[in-house]
Amino acid sequence: MKVALAQLDPVVGDVVGNADRIEQAVRQARVGGASILLTPELSLVGYPPRDLLERRDLGPACVEALERLARSCGDLAVLVGTPRQVPGDPRPWRNSMALLRGGRIEAFADKILLPTYDVFDEERHFTSGGGAFSFSLDGRRVGIALCEDLWQADDVGGVRGYARDPIAELASAGVDLILAASASPFLRQKDERRGEHLRQVARRARVQLVLVNQVGANDEIVFDGASRVVDADGSLRARLPSFREVVEVVDLAGPPGSAAPAEEPLGELFAALCCGVGGYVRKSGHERVLLGLSGGIDSALVATIAAAALGGSKVRGVMLPSRHSSAGSLADARELARRLGLGALEEVPIEAAHRTLREVLQAPLGEVEGLVDENLQSRLRGVILMALSNARGELLLTTGNKSEHAVGYATLYGDMCGALAPIGDLLKTDVWDLARWINARARGLGFSEPPIPENSIEKAPSAELRPNQTDQDSLPPYPVLDLVVEGWVVEERSAEEIARSSGIPLEEVRRITAMIDRAEFKRRQAPPILKTSRRSFGTGRPMPIAARWRPASR
């Protein structure tokens, strides 16, 4: 028996376009001699559809697309991820797999476990399915599992305490093959956990297990694909490449085929960020991006990611010097643009506009100095960049990192302006590590030379908003700050636990965690952040803004 794995990159809401993509996969599966084609979870509408599911005309559009696909399948069985409406359900939809066979929609398998953690909120729209679903194909009993039915939060290290185990129910029903459709987001170092979970499930249920995972990026969520086939003894039969749309036919009876190797950790992170930027730009209907280039490491890394994702010719760099900008920083920005082959590099000085704004504010404020004056410069840069974005139809990428977002070391309507924050889930220490990794492997990544100037990596970080300024004038050293951010935001540990494990004085930990909590109002107004960690700022961490809770010991 041969199974075709359609590792697809759907566009959310594009039912017609996604159906066309599935129909193309059907043709490839038929050429490969497959008996069945498996597509990812909700492949007909893309994942996550969110409140697009509130559209009343979505249901009829999905039914029409499924009927068209069924007519095109011929003798090939096809499993298509789709929402479906069942009259009388307490919520309007079920998250389902449609079994298309013999020119018709033969049956539906409904997702049983509905995740409501992290970026998932499926109980908002979906009703849980009833019993486990199985069917016969080529003399085998085949069961269907949808994403959480298989993972049960284990792939992200969580324990949700579900009352049902859909995999055990399928095993009890006597299936010997499980086809699992998934839209499991990328997280750093998740791939190894995912592989081990699949091995354990296959051995425990004594079944062959075929997993097809969505690939690509939708809004802030990145999907890595890395679909797999695992035999009943837990051995790997096939692994599809990460971050690439592909249809592959796998023989479940013959000798195991070749398996695409997993990326090293920083390699998969770079691939995920490129996938995220490319998907966001393309799916929002744009072709080109721009960003401010300061000569610092953050903007250099974002420009490098954008150039790798889109091509350097589709990236515009803008230098926005003030009287505090150093000649070295401007030289670093120019050198970066040369190495990346940027489509354009512009210089728009802000000094005259800064001087005018200072004069305007003298009447209400008197002397304009300190933080007010620094933020004026940042906001002027934001205004200029947004004006260029509006005039040219180029998406503005913002360059802030997770460490800065955490403690509010960013200016609303200034350096936080933008359509997407590619490195907003990378700690500052991650930024340095990834920049060095890229430079060390430049040619293998398609660059003719190390793209990031060494000086941008090695010099002390500075916003250059006042004379001789460095980030550490206002912040703890980044290695210290990042330990606290990781402990407080990602691991949700107490200040005391962070202090004990890190050796950082408790009062310093409490000072930093208070900064993190106070900055929530800024983060609520930030652009979408590409999610690469277990806990990123944004939809997966919905914290209140006007809150007074503090640990009793603070």
By the 8 A CB rule, do 272 and 224 touch? yes
Place of tokens 């890595």: 224
Q: Specify whether 274 is catalytic.
A: no
User: 3-class DSSP state for residue 136?
Assistant: strand
User: pLDDT by residue (tens digit) across 247-264?
Assistant: 999 999 988 877 888 889
The whole-number pLDDT of residue 339 equals 98
Residue 80 above 90 pLDDT?
Answer: yes
How much is the average pLDDT of 479-490? 97
Q: What is the DSSP string of 492-510?
A: ---HHHHHHHH---HHHHH
How much is the average pLDDT of 64-77? 96
User: pLDDT by residue (tens digit) across 287-329?
Assistant: 999 999 999 999 999 999 999 999 999 999 999 999 888 999 9
Residue 159 above 70 pLDDT?
Answer: no
User: 3-class DSSP state for residue 64?
Assistant: helix
The whole-number pLDDT of residue 469 equals 80
The whole-number pLDDT of residue 73 equals 93
- Domain ranges within the chain, ordered by starting residue: 2-253, 270-465
Task: Specify whether the backbone of 464 is left (phi greater than 0), alpha (psi in -120 to 50) or beta.
Answer: left
Q: What is the DSSP string of 256-273?
A: ---BPPPPPHHHHHHHHH
Which class for 146: exposed (0-12), middle (13-18), buried (19 or more C-beta within 10 A)?
buried
Candidates 62, 73, 122, 147; catalytic one: 147
The whole-number pLDDT of residue 160 equals 60
Q: Specify whether 402 is catalytic.
A: no
Q: How confident is the model at residue 468 (pLDDT cuts 50, 70, 90)?
A: confident
Q: Specify whether 147 is catalytic.
A: yes
User: pLDDT by residue (tens digit) across 534-549?
Assistant: 999 998 899 999 987 7
| Range with the poorest average pLDDT among 169-178, 363-372, 380-389 | 363-372
How much is the average pLDDT of 187-195? 93
The whole-number pLDDT of residue 63 equals 97
User: pLDDT by residue (tens digit) across 30-42?
Assistant: 999 999 999 999 9
By the 8 A CB rule, do 214 and 223 touch? yes
User: pLDDT by residue (tens digit) across 323-351?
Assistant: 888 999 999 999 999 999 999 999 999 99
How much is the average pLDDT of 393-401? 97
Candidates 111, 283, 402, 428; catalytic one: 111
Fold of 270-465: Rossmann fold (3.40.50)
By the 8 A CB rule, do 158 and 124 touch? no
**In one letter, which amino acid is 155?**
D
Fold of 2-253: Nitrilase/N-carbamoyl-D-aminoacid amidohydrolase (3.60.110)
Candidates 41, 169, 248, 374; catalytic one: 41
DSSP 163: S
* Residue 297 CA: distances (Å) to CA of 294, 341, 348, 482: 9, 18, 20, 16
The whole-number pLDDT of residue 261 equals 83
The whole-number pLDDT of residue 158 equals 53
